[in-house]
A and B are shown apart, each in its own frame.
Chain A
Amino acid sequence: MKINDLTIEALEKENYFATQELIEVVNAAIFLDKPLLIEGPAGTGKTFLAKTLSTLLNLELIRLQCHEGIDEDKAVYEWNYKKQLLSIQKSEKNENLFDEKFLIKRPILTALTTKENSLFLIDEIDRSDEEFEALLLEILAENQVTIPEFGTIGGNENRITILTSNSTRELSDALRRRCIYFYLDFPSIDIETKVFMNSIDDIDKEEASKYASLVSFIRSLNLNKIPSLIESVEWVKYNNSKNKESVRSNLGILLKDKSDQNKYIEKLEESNEFNQE
């Protein structure tokens, strides 16, 4: 699929704030016509990137949410047994039961055969079983699916494929080899500042960057659950509209673990002591 190179500005218009590196990788993946594997912690905007791209480039979004136990029936295709049975009873002639009209298309087959330009999102691939990865290899590399009763179905070329992973499990090398890889980390202070300014009303730049550096400092503490971008936005939104004195009481918006909260309060007291010296 031939698409002009994306720019940071274009994505920012769609409220997505990215680094130059990410843009370069997305451009490369589109240009080379290879799937893009994005790995990173939860809540850094992996799925949102796919959604943004689909609206920006006007592509149809086909989404396959992976989960444990997902298999061929749910992901690729299934035969419509009821329809087949009815068809046998209705007609006396020997009808071909494995015809396209008895085929139920699941997301992967839909993505392969759709006529429109599309963006195929395979979300949280690490949740699926290892066997399922092997199933994807044919689609990712050869752009085709083989159905034993039917034959091989080749895909159209008008498609961008994006895979996301939370790295709860090591993905196989075979899968990695076929993709372009990018590790999407938590946003830098600059980007988080932009997000704050974009999504929160009446916050000025200084205030936003102050919060952003504070959040990045909190992330650098040894925490159990690192706050995601959405959580930090909510926290800042609340703090900015209400009075700032009660930071401790609304900590639950940002940190969702008791020991993490204690850790933060410890640091807070440390800084207070330092100021009173």
Chain B
Amino acid sequence: MSLTKNEILNFSEFCKNNNYFIPIDQLKVFFEYKNLKNLKNFEKELLYLFLLIPKSREEQIHLKSLINRFFKYSIENNDSSSYSLLNEYSHEDNNLYDIISDLNEGNYENFNSLVKNIVEKFGDIDFSRPVSNDYWLNKIKKSFKYEETMMLFSNYEFDEISSMTNLINKNKFNNLLDIKILEILNEERNKAKDSYQPSELEPKAQLGELDFLYTDPNERRVLLEQTYKLGNKLAIKFKRHIKQASKGKLHFRKTIRKSMQTGGIFQKIIMRPKLLRKPNLIIACDISGSMALYSLFGITLLFGMVSRFSSIKAFVFIDGLTDVTKTLKKLKKNEIDSVLHNWNSYVKSDGHSDYEKSFEDLIDQNKKLNSTTKSLIVIGDGRNNYRNIPEELINNLYNQFEKIYWMNPEKKKYWNTGDSQIRKFERITKTTSEVRNYNQLRDFVNNIDFKKMLK
């Protein structure tokens, strides 16, 4: 089986509909290679489609999932999933050594019978009850037989390295066991009459479109890394440019070099352009309870910006403002969540978000420092716990900052409902966007067009 030109063009169209544009010259490269190498194998062709077209890590991940969805074929990283056999396993009078060595050789017979045994020992499963397979899996996990199986991995005398290896093996085995049990449950459910069919969950969204709130730890790690990079990018956006023509200090080396051309006579003096590129920016993030997990992403973004330029000031607020610039600078990339662990130290009075108090603090701070900062980025939902926000504050804020950009992690349809007062702020901001997932965050960063020319 081989891919036809039409199929690939359809795929390209499909990609375009899913926010991935395949440039024509890259498709050309693919076709060129396909013809020259005379590729006929469907899998090989898809592999090359994946290898030749994307031009960055992000694009690769995106295209991989698109190929998976369109051609129903997954390009796997053939990562080895083999277990490390420990000699200690064979000591006891259990068959762990045999099971694992069988698994390593790709022989699943013993393992399958073991899983079947676990499920059978659990007893009858009533599939007519309106619960999903996950529920039964959790029940089975608590059963005696399951726990007994997992106990196979404990009670050995290990040295340090082997004990870590044992833990890795155990986790791997545990995952495999759960997957297999779910498979069996699924089969059984299909066999059983009048079984309850849990509604199919929607296919999992793209990582970029996944709500920050619903990410699992692994996805979160990837996304936080990306968010950090976006922070760097955002910081650079605010750096001030300088006209090339403006004069600065004497560029000694280049002047001497230039004079060489004329036999050591200085004809032209070359100046080093003045570089005042540090951005002046304040960024404030709401970390009150209503922000939930979004504040972690907010703080990661702050961290990304602060670690790039010393002139960016970062604040967090709940019912009062706290400067975290110095705190963040001391932290390392994997310790960012420690800011949220110290949540208590940022509470000024009652721990409910208070925008009035916080922004008053911000204006005070800005005045006190006699700062010329005119740009502000706020991450917050504008929910003020039924407290009023006076018009005067809004006006003051507007006078203080020329450009205000607002990221709201709440769904747009819930804006201005209940105690949300985002409407008042929306008037004075340059942009107010809903930012709930990575793609929205990326778009927000990309759409900021801040360009300040110094004379």
Looking at B158-166, B189-197, B412-420, B433-441, the stretch in contact with chain A turns out to be B158-166
A275 B166 Cβ-Cβ under 8 A: yes
CB within 8 Å for A275 and B156 given contacts A25-B51, A167-B57, A214-B164: yes
Contact status B333-A224, CB under 8 Å: yes
Q: For B57, what are the chain A residues with a Cβ–Cβ distance below 8 Å?
A: 39, 167, 183
Size of the B side of the interface (Cβ < 8 Å), in residues, is: 50
What's the least CB distance linking B29 to chain A, in Å?
Answer: 6
Q: Given the complex, which residues of A lie within 8 Å of B91, measured CB to CB?
A: none
22 contacting pairs across A/B (C-beta < 8 A): A24-B48, A25-B51, A28-B52, A39-B57, A177-B25, A180-B51, A180-B52, A181-B55, A188-B79, A189-B79, A189-B82, A210-B162, A210-B165, A222-B221, A223-B334, A244-B159, A244-B160, A248-B160, A263-B334, A268-B160, A271-B164, A275-B156
A268 with B159: CB separation less than 8 A? no
Q: Once the chains bind, are A214 and B168 in contact (CB under 8 Å)?
A: yes
Given A188-B79, A224-B333: A182 touches B51 (CB 8 Å cut-off): yes
Q: Mark B253-271, 1 if CB is under 8 A from A, else 0.
A: 0000100110100000000
Residue pair A32, B56 in contact (C-beta under 8 Å): no
Establish whether residues B233 and A170, one from each chain, have CB atoms under 8 Å apart when the complex forms.
yes
Partner of B26, one of A177, A267, A271: A177
Return the CB mask of B33-54 against A: 1 if under 8 Å, else 0: 1001100000000011001101
| Interface membership of chain A positions 237-267, coded 1 if the CB is closer than 8 angstroms to chain B and 0 otherwise | 0010000110110000000010100010001
Does A217 touch B at the CB level, under 8 Å?
A: yes
- The reply on A173 being an interface residue by CB < 8 A is yes
Interface residues in B53-100 by Cβ distance below 8 A to A read 54-57, 60, 77-80, 82, 84-86
B-contacting residues, A206-250, CB 8 Å:
206, 209-211, 213-214, 217, 222-224, 239, 244-245, 247-248
B263 interface neighbour in A85, A247, A274, Cβ under 8 Å: A85
Instruction: Render B348-359 as a binary contact track against A, CB cut-off 8 A, 1 for contact.
Output: 000000000000
CB atoms of A21 and B233 under 8 A apart = no
Q: Report if B174 contacts A (CB, 8 A).
A: no
- Determine if B390 is an interface residue (Cβ-Cβ < 8 Å): no
With a cutoff of 8 Å between Cβ atoms, the chain A residues found around residue B170 in the complex are 274
State the CA gap A108–B82 with chains docked (Å): 46
**Cβ-defined contact, B37 with A214, below 8 A:** no
> Please, how many angstroms separate the alpha-carbon atoms of A190 and B161 in the complex?
19
User: Which single residue of chain A is at the shortest CB-CB distance from B221?
Assistant: A222
Q: Tell me, rounded to whole Å, the shortest Cβ–Cβ distance linking A213 to chain B.
A: 5
Closest to A169 in B: B232
Q: How far is the CA of A222 from the CA of B332 in the complex (A)?
A: 11
User: Given A170-B233, A223-B334, A277-B154: A271 and B51 within 8 A (CB)?
Assistant: no
Instruction: Give Cα A209 to B165, complex, Å.
Output: 10
CB of A81 within 8 A of CB of B261, answer yes
Instruction: Across the interface, name the chain B residue whose C-beta is closest to A79.
Output: B261
| Residues of B contacting A271 in the complex (Cβ-Cβ under 8 angstroms) | 163-164, 166-167
Please provide the chain A residues from 131 to 163 with a CB less than 8 Å away from any CB of chain B in the complex: none
Which B residues are CB-close (under 8 A) to A277? 154-155
Q: Is A18's beta carbon under 8 Å from chain B?
A: no
Cβ-defined partner of B161 (8 Å) among A21, A209, A210, A267: A210
Bound form: Cα–Cα A202–B161 in Å:
18
CA distance in complex: A180, B440 (Å): 29
A239 proximity list for chain B (CB < 8 A)? 161
Is the C-beta of A31 less than 8 angstroms from some C-beta in chain B?
yes
Verify B334–A275 contact, CB threshold 8 A.
no
Q: Cβ of A31: which chain B residues have Cβ within 8 Å of it?
A: 33, 36-37
Which of A85, A210, A272 has the most C-beta atoms of chain B within 10 angstroms of its own C-beta? Answer: A210
How would residues 176 to 187 of chain A score, 1 for a CB under 8 Å from any chain B CB and 0 otherwise? 110111110000
Chain B positions within 8 Å of A51 at CB level: none
Contact B163 A224, beta carbon cutoff 8 Å: no
Query: Please, what's the 1-or-0 string for A97-118, where 1 marks a CB less than 8 Å from any CB in chain B?
Result: 0000000000000000000000
Whether A32 touches B168, Cβ cut-off 8 Å, given contacts A188-B77, A245-B159, is: no
Q: A25 contacts which chain B residues (CB < 8 A)?
A: 51
Known: A21-B51, A214-B161, A272-B160. 10 other contacts (CB 8 A): A25-B51, A32-B29, A32-B32, A181-B60, A190-B79, A210-B84, A224-B333, A259-B335, A274-B170, A275-B155
Q: For the side of the interface on A, what is the size category? A: 35 or more
B33 touches A32 (CB 8 A): yes
Known pairs A213-B168, A217-B164, A268-B160; A275 contacts B154 (CB<8 A): yes
Chain B, residue nearest A97 (CB): B261
B23 at the interface (CB under 8 A from A): yes
Could you mark each residue 129-172 of chain B with 1 if its beta carbon is under 8 Å from any beta carbon of chain A, else 0?
Answer: 00000000000000000000000001110111111111110100
Whole-angstrom CA separation of A259 from B334 in the bound complex: 9
Provide the bound-state CA to CA distance between A28 and B334, in Å.
38
> CA A180 – CA B156 in complex, angstroms?
50
CB distance from A188 to the nearest CB of B (A): 5
Name B162's closest neighbour in chain A (CB-CB): A210
CB nearest to A82 among chain B residues: B260
Q: How far is the CA of A25 from the CA of B162 in the complex (A)?
A: 37
Q: Which A78-98 residues sit within 8 Å CB-CB of chain B?
A: 81-82, 85, 88
B residues less than 8 Å from A214 (CB atoms): 161, 164-165, 168
Closest CB pairs A-B (n = 8)? A176-B55, A81-B260, A271-B167, A210-B84, A190-B80, A222-B334, A189-B80, A247-B160
**CB neighbors of A among B94-112 (8 A):** none
Tell whether A244 pairs with B80 under 8 Å between CB atoms, given A222-B334, A259-B332.
no
B16 to chain A, nearest CB (A): 17
Contacts of A176 in B (CB 8 A): 55-56
Chain A residues within 8 Å of B25, by CB: 177
* Cβ contacts under 8 Å, B334 to chain A: 222-224, 259, 263
A34 at the interface (CB under 8 A from B): yes
Q: Using Cβ atoms and an 8 Å threshold, which residues of chain B touch A201?
A: none
Q: Which partner residue on chain B sits nearest A208 by CB separation?
A: B84
Q: Closest approach, in angstroms, between the C-beta of B413 and any C-beta of chain A?
A: 34
Interface residues of A in 1-47 (CB under 8 A from B): 21, 24-25, 28, 31-32, 34, 37, 39
Instruction: Determine how close the nearest CB of chain A comes to the CB of B10; give it in whole angstroms.
Output: 23
Least CB separation from B29: chain A residue? A32
User: A18 → chain B, closest Cβ, in Å?
Assistant: 13
Q: Give residues 317-332 of B contacting A (CB, 8 Å).
A: 332
How far, in angstroms, from A272 to B165 measured CA to CA in the complex? 11
Chain B nearest CB from A86 CB (Å) reads 11
